[in-house]
Amino acid sequence: MTGALYAVSDLHVSYAENRAVVDGLRPETADDWLIVAGDVGEVFADIERTLRLLRDRFARVVWAPGNHELWTHPNDPVTLRGVARYDALVAMCRELGVLTPEDDYPVWRGAGGPVTVAPLFLLYDYSFRAPGTTTKEESLRAAYDAGVVCTDEMLLHPDPYPDRESWCAARLEQTRLRLEATDPALPTVLASHWPLVRQPTEVLWFPEFAQWCGTDRTADWHVRHRAAVAVYGHLHIPRTTHYDGVRFEEVSLGYPREWRRRGGEPAPMKRILG
C-alpha cells in the first residue's frame, strides 16, 4: 500500500460552510484511508449522505460516533433514541461499506503499519468534574450556574439504560474486551470522539464543559492497549500533544466561527500514518 491513514472529526455538516469544506476532502492516492471520529451531523440523512460521499472517495472509511449523531433532534424524521439510534447508524454504515465500532477492527498495512485501527464508542460518565466539585450533582450544578450546559442533556437519550453513565459503563466493558482480544504483536490507532485522557480538556475556555468530554476509566488505555496514536475530536481544538510518550491528535473541523478564527482555508484532514 502506498497511501496514508488520515483522520477528521466534527464536520458538523448542518452548516453550509462546512458542507463546502467536506466537498473538498479528497484522498491523495487510491490507497488512502479516512477515520471519521464523530459529529458528522445531527440529522440521520445528513450523516448518511456525508459518509456515502467519503466512502466513494477513500479506499476505506472508519467511523466512530460522536454525541451529535446520537441526538434525537427535533428536525430529524428519524426519531429513534439511545441504543436503537446507534444500532440504526451502524446498520446504515454497513450498507455503505463504512466500518464502525461493531465491526472487526481493520489492520492498516501501509507506511507506519501494520497497526490495528480501532474505532471506539465510549461516551462519558461525568467523572471529568467541574473544578471544586466532588460529585456528579455538584458538577452539573456548577455547569448550570455558569450557563455552560451541553445539549446532550436535552437530546442524547440513553434508552434503554437509566442514564448516560450506565450506557458508558456498558460500552467501556464491551470495548475493553474487544481491545484485549486484538493481536498483542500489533500497535493500535485508537479513534474515539471523546479524548481518552482528561489533560486535553485543561485548555477549555469553560472548564465546566469537561464533564461531557470523557471518563477517567480510560486514563491508561493508550498505554494498556499499545496505542501508536490516539485520535479524538469533540473539543474543537485541533492540535498534537503527547501523553506517556503516545501521540494524541485532535482532528476537529468545528463550527465555521471557530475555523475562521484560525485564518486561511480549513484543511481538517490530519495525516496519522503514512
Q: pLDDT value at position 50?
A: 98
Three-class SS state of 99:
strand
Q: pTM above 0.75?
A: yes
Q: Are strands 239-243 and 246-250 parallel, antiparallel or unpaired?
A: antiparallel
CA distances from 45 to 12, 48, 60, 71 (A): 13, 5, 21, 13
pLDDT digits 0-9 by tens, 19-74: 999 999 999 999 999 999 999 999 999 999 999 999 999 999 999 999 999 999 99
What is the rounded CA–CA span in Å between residue 254 and residue 228? 25
pLDDT digits (tens, 9 = 90+) for 216-231: 999 999 999 999 999 9
Average pLDDT, the chain: 97
